[in-house]
Amino acid sequence: MRPSPHDTLQLSSEPTVLVDLLSRLIRLEIASIGAVETAIEHESDPGYVVLLHETKSSKQAAVEQMNTVLRLAGQKPVQGGGVMEPLLRVQTLALQKTSTTVLLGAMRAVEHLLIERYAEAGKDLAGLERAAVEAASRRASKRWMILTAHIAQRKDGESPQAHELAHPLSQYFASAEDRVCMRCLLDRPGAKPALEKHDPYTYVCAACREETEAQFPSDLQSQIPRWREQDLHDRLIHRALGRPSKLQAVKEVHARLAGLPSEGPIKLGAAPKVVAPTTAMSDSARRPDEAQATSELSIAPEGASLAEASYTTLLFDYRSVRRHW
């Protein structure tokens, strides 16, 4: 969500109402971030470590977005999770020692509570602040979907959670195993095998492999058949785990699997838009005069052939470069 300049000048809600609604939501998100941090410290499965880190990042983005709205209203941002944070930390540690499935269930309950509270807050807000709450609610819905899918998979699909998903469980997991793709956080099926490496452990599911391979630009697509298999796998993993590709999974894959509208494709590798200066410089002010003296070559020509010396002279000659570049 990118507010326009007009949105940042005036908010639609009363400051007192805004602070009351957003502060409670922010404290709950921060408290749950503390619980996730506790779980990360005691998690040994590398896939679930990635899942927890991505959950934490998503929550931090929601907190920052809502705190920004408070700043625009001239209010102080919320910095702590209140009395709930230490309680959630202790509860998380106890549940994690019991089983990972129980821990995921507790995290899912928190996300469900957040979704409900975001919906209630949205009724009393409008404009920019409502858009911020809706964006945070979408993030919570995606996290809820991921946790629900993993719980259902760990219970062999027999749990009632499987029926709460927007799609059949087979679209979230390709096999009977509960594996975590480090791009989409699930294990979606695809026509080609998944990619897996050790030391450090890395896993990219079959669907993410296909989507990542399709992201290569056309000049690299034509070279793929000539690459060694290991080189192709390494490049696919490197690109799949890059921030642009992971963001594309969040915007498109997670939105679809959570039953939400697509947030639009992410253009990978797009060059930043260059804004032209308001006051254009004249061509004569921007470029040296054609009568500029020839550059002086300071590289010793000894040992170079006549052709090499001529090439070097042309390479460092300003007028020649400008004429042929």
Determine the Cα–Cα distance for residues 251 and 239; give it in Å rounded to an integer: 17
Average of per-residue pLDDT values in the chain: 84
pLDDT at 156: 64
Mean pLDDT of 265-277: 49
pLDDT at 1: 46
pLDDT at 308: 72
Q: Which residue, 164, 53, 187, is CA-closest to 108?
A: 164
Q: Write the pLDDT tens digit of every residue in 187-226.
A: 999 999 999 999 899 999 999 999 999 999 988 888 988 9
* Tokens at 230, concatenated: 């290991």
3-state secondary structure 273-292: CCCCCCCCCCHHHHCCCCCC
Determine the Cα–Cα distance for residues 67 and 23; give it in Å rounded to an integer: 9
Q: Write the pLDDT tens digit of every residue in 284-305.
A: 444 555 555 665 655 555 656 7
- How open is the CA angle 199-220-321, to the nearest 5 degrees? 115
Is the pLDDT at 77 greater than 70, yes or no? yes
- What's the topology of domain 5-165? Ferritin (1.20.1260)
pLDDT tier, 72 (very low <50, low <70, confident <90, very high otherwise): confident
Beta bridge partners of 173: 187
pLDDT at 158: 65
pLDDT at 317: 73
Q: Which of 44-58, 113-127, 252-266, 290-304 has the highest mean pLDDT?
A: 44-58
Domain edges within the chain: 5-165, 169-265
Mean pLDDT of 269-296: 51
Q: For residue 325, what are the CA distances in angstroms to 85, 250, 288?
A: 61, 42, 16
Type of residue at 191: A
Q: Which DSSP symbol is given to 44?
A: -
Q: Write the pLDDT tens digit of every residue in 221-249.
A: 889 889 999 999 999 999 999 999 999 99
Is the pLDDT at 90 greater than 50, yes or no? yes
Q: Write the pLDDT tens digit of every residue in 136-182.
A: 999 999 999 999 999 999 986 567 888 999 999 999 999 989 999 99
Between 82 and 119, where is the model more confident? 119
Q: Which residue, 26, 88, 33, is CA-closest to 63?
A: 26
Determine the Cα–Cα distance for residues 184 and 265; give it in Å rounded to an integer: 15
Q: Is the peptide bond before 193 cis (omega within 30 degrees of 0)?
A: no
Q: Write the pLDDT tens digit of every residue in 181-196.
A: 999 999 999 999 999 9
What's the pTM value of the predicted model, to 2 decimals?
0.76
pLDDT at 159: 74
